[in-house]
Structure 1
Amino acid sequence: MYSLEARLKRRLLVGVLLVSVVLGLAVRTEVNRQQREMLDYQLEQVARAMLLSDLQDLQAWDNDPALHLDMQIWDRAGNRLYRSSAQIGLGADTSPGFSVLPSGPQADAVILRVFTLKGAERTIQVMHSRELRRALSRDAEFQVLLPTLLAMLFVAIMVGATIRKGLEPIRELDEELSQRDVASLQPVSLVHAPVELDRVVRTFNRLLLQLDASIQAHKRFIANAAHELRTPITALRLEVDNLAHGEDPVQVKGAVRRLTMGVHRAQRLLQQMLTLARLEARTNSRPWTSVDLVGLAQESMMDLSVLGSQRGIEFAFEASGSTVVQGDPDDLRLLLDNLLGNALKFSPPNTSVELSIHQQGDAVILLLRDHGPGIAPALRERVLMPFVRSNPTIEGSGLGLTIVFEVIQSHGATLQLEDPPEGQGLQVRVSFGVDRPVLHTENQKNQA
């Protein structure tokens, strides 16, 4: 783990330091160059002025401390006419222009920067000591670099303050989240969040809303499951009491029959609840394979044929074109079992359940029609929710269509609950292999 604030400050301050060093070196180099040029220009201009001036004016030059220079004047015969300082030990034979010479033969002689100008009547030597030039350059560097360094120090302080202020929303978010517990799933609100953090907050809030919806759905599922289990468990307990106190063989036989039916109902309810929980909790889908819906449909109808024949209900089946889809065969078998089981449950005796599977363009259409009471359009969206029954008078758990819808969602198919073309009943249309995985009932489709 590392501190984002510390890392930003460290990198930016290192950058400011490098810029300061480079800028300082550049300023120092430029100041030294300009100082040398200015002092050389001063030597040259004074020499030219003295070449034409009267020697009586030299007293004014000597009394001017701003010049910082020494001077020697020689006549044409090599006689020294003037020397500003007795410590100067230069001869008259210096080369014209600029040169660097010691002021005398001694080892510790002062090094001079000399400008020599030779005229018809005079030779002018104007000079600065090297130490003086260096001292003047240091003073100039200090006068220029001090404001620059102060400005860079101010920039460094501003960088640190700006980073700290810029990261303040992150600290606000941390403080906001640290005050929450597992039950606090309301959206996070930051008043002064920047655009970058605002996107993170919106994404986080969306996850919180999804998590809250999932938790609420599981709470409702558990509450509904507890309610649904209470009735069959109570009935089972009553039948057990009847068996414990029953003496009449006929009553005992009836209690055993009712107890067996109750156990079967409870087993069916628990099986459907576990199936739905498994489908909802699955995070990684299993590898899909090519599944022939016709084969699965025939197996499902064969398993349910006994139940249908007991009520005089027959299956009518037809198929055409390619009926192979990509999916999970076990989940698709669950879909067919629940659709056909619901159709048998809601169909009146001595009717038929019609199933067709056919190819339509790139899609495979599964069409199931029964002759039962159907589902009112206002309820077609709600019956996809757990424990919601379209007809409370008919025994059931209200989980069949919910399981069907979970399988539909996982396979990217579409589900439509429709009125049949004629007569009463319900027509269920499932489309596989469509271009985009849109999941809706007929009501939702019409609203779109």
Structure 2
Amino acid sequence: MNLSIRKRLLFGLLSLMTIACSITLVKNYFDTRHEIQELFDAQLAQSARVLLELSAHELYEQLAYAAQQGEDISEHIPTQVHKYQQEIDFQIWVEGALLAVRSENAPSTPFINVDEQFSNRTFNDRRWRVYSISNDENTIRVQVGQHYDERDLLSNSISTRLITSFAIMLPLLALLILVSVGRAMAPLKKITDQIENRQIDNLQPIGMQHVPQEVVPMIKALNSLFQRLHAAFENITLFTANAAHELRTPLAAQKLHAQVAIKTEDKTARDEALREVVVGVNRATNLVEQLLTLSRLDPEGALKEDEVANLYKITEDKLAELTPQALEKFIEVSLDFKESPLVNGKEAMLTILVRNIIENAIRYTPNYGMVEVQVKPLNGKVLFSVKDSGPGIPAEERQNVFQRFYRGKGNTTQEGCGLGLAMVHRILEIHNAQITLDKSPFGGLQVDVLFNPAKVVPISRGSSATRTTGRGPNKAAQVVRSSRMTSS
């Protein structure tokens, strides 16, 4: 069961307070009883000393004579006049073994045989605390005693008052804690109500006024989330509108060509119209596939450190796959690599990125042109570079080519829907990679992408990187070159 913060605070504080108060109460209880017993002992000693002084200076001769005559001159201490005044019984012995005076409840035998020492004794089934003191000549001995019943009665009375005070204080403290926790949690309740009562389309930031410092990081995180959601919803709205627009145009063209094919009786015109329908279907299919791919990229999330991909192997495979397109245009393709660098990345995404960049280079490079691909370590990173001899991209448009559905101003001859580089840009964001666009040495476009190298190197399973270190064409490039020379 998940307890609320309020209940956790109340339970924790009350439990700790109860434990602390209980420990303090037990300690104070025993300390109080000990101190009370010490006070009683001090009272016994003081009473004995007072009686000794009185007996030594004024009563010695009288007491000694009365004791020799065997007269009963026992005295009794007057009734107590204060509730904390304790009844003390005493004995006064003279000449060693003569009991001169004793209180009414004191026994006729000595309390104790040792002077100036507190001791516990039992007389008539009652426990006594006794003390004895003698004068310097040892002619008078005063012994005093007190029942433990009386001592315990006063100790228990004071201890009960102490326990009662704690018992009254504990509920009051609990009530104060309840009120304090409730007041402290009030801002959280207010924030909760504010979020709960929001409209579904309200992504405005939460106000930071009167927010406790402990809650500020959470509110900032929520506001950041709202900001990202707002941007994501705006992108989705724009993306949907652009996708609808991009799909509407080829569908309208296909409808027109289909109507021409239905109505015309000219076989040549019908075949041409049907070919245009096929071209339009292919373009719409490509658009839908790219839209689906892009939609799958957006929720992928952060890249994990243990995800490793062989960038050279991916590049080699995609280059071999795109060889037929290069062969059709007699384009010379080369792959320059040094080592077989591993990068921190998702292999499926990097495959999309590599294919899009190389495919764009082949598509926009004219016949008998050149495309050069490089994969190599560079300054602690891994470089993936593609250079072509195509028309390139004007400097003022290079920042816009990564927008969805953007197509260059002069791009009227090549097919496409403007999503390829948008997918590349999203993949770069996920991989925390950097891309730069520049003019290539061949007069076209140069695309340089820097990836983070893999921190975890997996155990090799076979010989996927079998090339020697250095510059050399891959099999696909060799096929393209040989095809070009043959065609020439």
**TM-score class, shorter:** 0.7 to 0.9
| Contact preservation (8 Å) 1:323, 1:357 | no
Equivalences for residues 254-403 of structure 1 within 5 A = 254-282=272-300, 288-289=309-310, 291-292=312-313, 295-296=316-317, 298-305=319-326, 307-308=328-329, 314-317=331-334, 319-322=336-339, 325-326=342-343, 331-347=349-365, 349=366, 352-361=369-378, 363-372=382-391, 374-391=392-409, 393-394=411-412, 395-403=415-423
Relative to structure 1, the CA distance from residue 268 to residue 306 in structure 2 (aligned partners, 3 Å threshold; closer, same or farther) is: farther
Structure 1, residues 11-61: CA drift from partner, whole Å, max 9, x if none? 3322222222222221121112121121112112221221221359x9997
Relative to structure 1, the CA distance from residue 94 to residue 248 in structure 2 (aligned partners, 3 Å threshold; closer, same or farther) is: closer
* Partner residue, 1:76: 95
Structure 1, residues 169-224: CA drift from partner, whole Å, max 9, x if none? 44333323322354333333343333333222322332333333333322222221
Equivalences for residues 16-27 of structure 1 within 5 A = 16-27=17-28
Deviation at 1:300, TM superposition (A): 4.3
Counterpart residue identity of residue 145, structure 2: M
Q: Secondary structure at the match of 2:417?
A: coil
CA distance in 1, matches of 2:111, 2:133: 11
Q: Secondary structure at the match of 1:384?
A: coil
Q: Secondary structure at the match of 1:292?
A: helix
| Contact preservation (8 Å) 1:72, 1:125 | yes
Q: Secondary structure at the match of 1:65?
A: coil
Relative to structure 1, the CA distance from residue 159 to residue 301 in structure 2 (aligned partners, 3 Å threshold; closer, same or farther) is: same
Deviation at 1:245, TM superposition (A): 2.2
* Partner residue, 1:7: 8
Percent sequence identity over aligned pairs: 24
Structure 1, residues 242-274: CA drift from partner, whole Å, max 9, x if none? 222223334323322322222222222222222
Deviation at 1:93, TM superposition (A): 6.9
**Aligned match of 1:113 in 121, 129, 142?**
129
Moved more, 109-118 or 196-205: 109-118
Relative to structure 1, the CA distance from residue 62 to residue 81 in structure 2 (aligned partners, 3 Å threshold; closer, same or farther) is: farther
CA distance in 1, matches of 2:337, 2:134: 118
Say yes or no: does 1:227 pair with 2:248.
no
Q: Secondary structure at the match of 1:244?
A: helix
**Aligned match of 1:65 in 81, 86, 94?**
81
Unaligned 5+ runs, structure 1: 437-448
| Contact preservation (8 Å) 1:92, 1:123 | no
Given the two structures, how large is their TM-score scaled by the length of structure 1?
Answer: 0.80
Say yes or no: does 1:172 pair with 2:173.
no
Relative to structure 1, the CA distance from residue 21 to residue 257 in structure 2 (aligned partners, 3 Å threshold; closer, same or farther) is: closer
Q: Secondary structure at the match of 2:298?
A: helix
| Contact preservation (8 Å) 1:115, 1:127 | yes
CA distance in 2, matches of 1:183, 1:329: 36
CA distance in 1, matches of 2:254, 2:111: 133
CA distance in 2, matches of 1:74, 1:412: 103
Number of residue pairs aligned between Structure 1 and Structure 2: 423
Deviation at 1:70, TM superposition (A): 3.0
Deviation at 1:100, TM superposition (A): 4.0
| Contact preservation (8 Å) 2:357, 2:386 | no
Unaligned 5+ runs, structure 2: 63-73, 456-488
CA distance in 1, matches of 2:421, 2:110: 118
CA distance in 1, matches of 2:171, 2:349: 69
| Contact preservation (8 Å) 1:370, 1:426 | yes
| Contact preservation (8 Å) 2:390, 2:445 | yes
Deviation at 1:167, TM superposition (A): 3.5
Given the two structures, how large is their TM-score scaled by the length of structure 2?
Answer: 0.74
CA distance in 2, matches of 1:400, 1:308: 21
| Contact preservation (8 Å) 2:111, 2:130 | no
* Partner residue, 1:419: 439
CA distance in 1, matches of 2:96, 2:17: 62
Q: Secondary structure at the match of 1:46?
A: helix
Relative to structure 1, the CA distance from residue 359 to residue 40 in structure 2 (aligned partners, 3 Å threshold; closer, same or farther) is: closer
CA distance in 2, matches of 1:369, 1:94: 118
**RMSD, matched Cα:** 3.6
CA distance in 2, matches of 1:89, 1:390: 122
Higher relative contact order (CA 8 A, sep 6+): 2
Deviation at 1:341, TM superposition (A): 3.7
Deviation at 1:364, TM superposition (A): 3.7
Say yes or no: does 1:217 pair with 2:235.
yes
Counterpart residue identity of residue 34, structure 2: R
Equivalences for residues 248-259 of structure 1 within 5 A = 248-259=266-277
| Contact preservation (8 Å) 1:101, 1:112 | yes
Counterpart residue identity of residue 11, structure 1: G
